[in-house]
Chains A and B, each alone.
Chain A
Amino acid sequence: MSLGRELADALLGRNPLLGGALGLCPALAVSTSLKNGVGIGLATAAVVVGSVALAALVGRALPARARMLALVVVTAGLATAADVIMTKHMPTLRAGLGIYVPLIATNCIVFGDARAAAQGAGLVRSLVSGLGAGLGFAGAVVVVSAIREVAGSGKLWDVAVAGPNFNPALMLTIAPGGLIALGLVMGVFNRLRHRS
């Protein structure tokens, strides 16, 4: 498979969040507004790509038994780096995302792709697949958070988009609404995927 097709496949065909139901916790917990969605999506994508690159580099040098431990150190280190950078430069965003920034370290997407890379998939191929998975996750979170922000508060990126008569569905801003919204988006995604 060519690299371009691999990217498209990772991005759309087997989207980690919508197709694989991976990384559910952050996708639901902080997808209450578009700003938060973009923040957690891009941070996760950066950690996925970084850990895939590092895992591909150190993975081959280590015996199989030590790889898992090395992966834990790599992903936790990168998540910590993301946490420190966000705390320093984007304190309001970091406060909004809370414990879900350090929790990027346990995101199943990070582990899945990094493990494949450490087990010897080529560096370029792993990077493309990691980039696709990371961006696919980010894109899906952005869609869910946009839906939740518009329908839940009548705003988009903190700007009011609905008319004065709009009656927001407050439930979408809290946890149950997140679960239901993601479930519906996943169902629609499956339908579109099977049709094409």
Chain B
Amino acid sequence: MGVDKLLTIAVGTILVNNVVLVRLLGLCPVAGGSRQVRSTLILGLVVTCLMTVASVATFGIYSRVLLPLHLAYGKTLAFMLVIAVLLWAAEAVTARRASGFSLAFHRGLPLTTANCAVLGVALINVEKAYDLLAAAANGAAAGLGFTLVLVLVTGLRERIELSPVPGSFKGAPVILVLTGLVALAFLGFSGLVIE
């Protein structure tokens, strides 16, 4: 696999097939997330690391254990267990870090809300039959795409808090519409990569 192929995957996954805006995964932390750009940035970076490690680990388990044993249908269970262990490890590591870091992290940003995106990326790797390097690149790019959208929407949320939104639309509804408009803007990137 050449560098060009990896670059195609990276650009394609970050901008064209963005994990949040096109695949619609990991919307829960985006719609219900924090109001501070700083803490969303931290969450995004942790999720990026998680997705990369999870992509490599699930690729190994799928190709070395499940396929030889004809247990491909058990991938959901196996992947979820792997991701649960990784989430637990990530929470243990972040809890031990400096107080500011873990405070930002634990204040309304539970990592578990992102696990549907992590599992989704692992399943996409299998669906597209990526090899090890491509799976790792796809995982990292999906995490960066998630971070990008999370930070963009958090920035927009700061603005919308000051706007006269009708009472029934406050909170999740207006954030969803807003995310939809961001997704519409991202449609401009389609056609950037020829697959």
Contacts and interface: CB of A to CB of B under 8 A. Distances in A.
Q: Do the two chains belong together in a single complex?
A: yes
Given A103-B116, A103-B123, A171-B184, A180 B176 contact: yes
Interface in B70-128: 73-77, 80-81, 84, 112-113, 115-117, 119-120, 123-124, 127
B116 A187 contact: no
B181 interface: yes
A76 B183 contact: no
B23 A24 contact: no
A178 B24 contact: yes
Contacts of A72: 80-81, 84
A179 B177 contact: yes
A188 B175 CA distance: 14
Interface stretch (A2-10, A105-113, A127-135): A105-113
Which of B76, B80, B116, B168 has most A Cβ within 10 Å? B76
Interface in B7-52: 21-28, 31-32
B27 A190 contact: no
B166 A107 contact: no
Contact of B119 (A80, A105, A184, A187): A105
A149 interface: no
Nearest to B169: A187
Interface residues of A, number: 43
Nearest to B114: A106
B113 A108 contact: yes
Given A76-B77, A76-B80, A190-B169, A99 B127 contact: yes
Contact of B180 (A25, A68, A179, A191): A179
Contacts of A21: 28, 31-32, 171-172
5 contacts: A102-B75, A103-B120, A178-B180, A180-B177, A187-B174
Contact of B168 (A73, A84, A178, A194): A194
B179 interface: yes
Interface residues of B, number: 46
B28 A22 contact: yes
Interface in B103-160: 112-113, 115-117, 119-120, 123-124, 127
Interface majority SS (helix, strand, loop, mixed), chain A: helix
A186 B173 contact: yes
Which of A25, A75, A106, A190 has most B Cβ within 10 Å? A106
Nearest to B21: A175
B72 to A, nearest CB: 11
A24 B123 CA distance: 18
A73 B183 CA distance: 34
Contact of A106 (B32, B73, B119, B180): B119
A118 interface: no
B187 interface: yes
Given A75-B80, A179-B179, A190-B173, 15 more contacts: A21-B28, A21-B171, A73-B77, A80-B74, A99-B120, A102-B76, A103-B25, A103-B120, A105-B80, A106-B116, A180-B180, A183-B173, A183-B174, A183-B179, A194-B168
B183 A175 contact: yes
A179 B183 contact: yes
Contacts of A176: 21, 180-181, 183-184, 187
A123 B172 CA distance: 32
